[in-house]
Amino acid sequence: MQNNTTTGIIGFGSYIPSNRIAASTISLTNPHSPPPGVVSKSAPDPDEDAVTMGIEAAHVALSKGNISPSAIQSVFVGSESHPYAVKPSATIIAHALGIGPWYMAADTQFACKAGTAALQFTLGLVKSGMIATGMAIGSDTAQAAPGDVLEYTAGAGAAAIILGSDPHKIIATIDQTLSFSSDTPDFWRRPGEEHPQHAGRFTAGPSYFHHVVSCGKRLLEISELQPQDFTYLVLHQPNLKFPQKAAAMLGFTPGQLEASLLVREIGNCYAASSMLALCSALGKAKPGEKVFMVSFGSGAGSDGFILTKM
């Protein structure tokens, strides 16, 4: 997708529970070795879920952007851990924030890229002129079966991004976006199952790396930009090794990735992972600096974005 009119971020916010579980603690009962470089993961309080964390992140985004809840015309929430199978998280969050009743609302599901899918939907609505301001949220209390290797990284957190077209309010423009998708069954959970299942090493080459690198290379190609044109690289972070290897495959340096590497301390926050990393990069970026972002969701697909800090 090539943007012809200015559309961008006018507010962003994140929320990460303060609780941490050390990898060394998990290893006392988990038969797998801890993933290299992952020290701990975030863990929600008993009364926290994808909705409550989404509300916290959205509060920050509204406050940072000095945006009235009444201005929000759409709320899309991406998650793998919506508290209800049939009852939207989006309307609960919107009601708690004082949004409505005249707004679009929906929950999105595409594994760990459900949040960036929500961001693309919002971008399309704002860019088309159907709405002036919309909010996209990625929020998850990530889940893993006891004893599974994913237990080391299944973290919790939320990120909210508000898009608008008022040039006086835009913090960062979204210059381009595209997606790369396929039917690749690397990670799934059937109805009624408590924990997801995954296809082991199949989640690496045919899934994460194929989609992230293919999406990233195509985005560089159509933008006619080079890795050195970007200050920050944001990738989905299921562990520390995958984004580091993908960065190298795309031609980026470790320094371009470092500012957004949150997985060491908070683990993989699933639908919030790449959006939290984007919030981290935007918080450090200076005017004129560019951000290159590629998310990933099992099943499988990647969303790519090029942003410029204003």
- Give just the sign of the alpha carbon dihedral 158, 164, 169, 170: positive
pTM here is 0.95
Q: From the candidates 56, 82, 112, 151, which is the catalytic residue?
A: 112
Residue from 295, 307, 87, 122 nearest 211 by CA: 295
Q: State the pLDDT confidence band at 201, using cuts at 50, 70 and 90.
A: low
Angle of the 89-97 helix axis to the 50-65 helix axis, nearest 10: 40
State yes or no: pLDDT of 1 exceeds 50.
no
Mean of pLDDT values over 177-190: 88
68/87 Cα distance (integer angstroms): 25
Q: Are 106 and 90 in contact (CB under 8 A)?
A: yes
Higher pLDDT, 205 or 58: 58
pLDDT at 200 over 70: no
Q: Return the closest-CA partner of residue 263 out of 147, 179, 144, 150.
A: 150
Does residue 157 or residue 185 have the better pLDDT? Answer: 157
- CB-based burial, 140-170: b 16+ in 10 Å, e otherwise: bbbbbeeebbbbbbbbbbbbbbbbbbeeebb
Quick check: 3 pLDDT over 70?
no
Q: In what order do the strands lie in the sheet with 290-294?
A: 104-108, 74-78, 133-141, 156-164, 8-15, 172-181, 301-309, 290-294, 232-235
pLDDT of 212-226, one tens digit each? 999 999 999 999 999
Q: Is 80 a catalytic residue?
A: yes
Confidence of residue 5 (pLDDT cuts 50, 70, 90): low
Counting residues of the chain whose pLDDT is more than 70, the rounded percentage is: 97
Q: CB-based burial of residue 263 (10 Å sphere; 0-12 exposed, 13-18 middle, 19+ buried)? A: buried
Q: What is the distance between the alpha carbons of residues 159 and 161, in angstroms, rounded to a whole number?
A: 7
Catalytic residue status for 112: yes
pLDDT (mean) for 21-39: 96
Q: Is 279 a catalytic residue?
A: no
The one catalytic residue in 82, 198, 211, 236 is 236
Q: Catalytic residue among 80, 82, 211, 215, which?
A: 80
Domains of the chain are 8-164 (3.40.47.10), 172-309 (3.40.47.10)
Mean pLDDT for all residues in the chain: 95
Q: Looking at residue 197, what is its pLDDT?
A: 73
What mean pLDDT comes out for the span 228-239?
97
Query: Tens digits of per-residue pLDDT, 50-80?
Result: 999 999 999 999 999 999 999 999 999 999 9
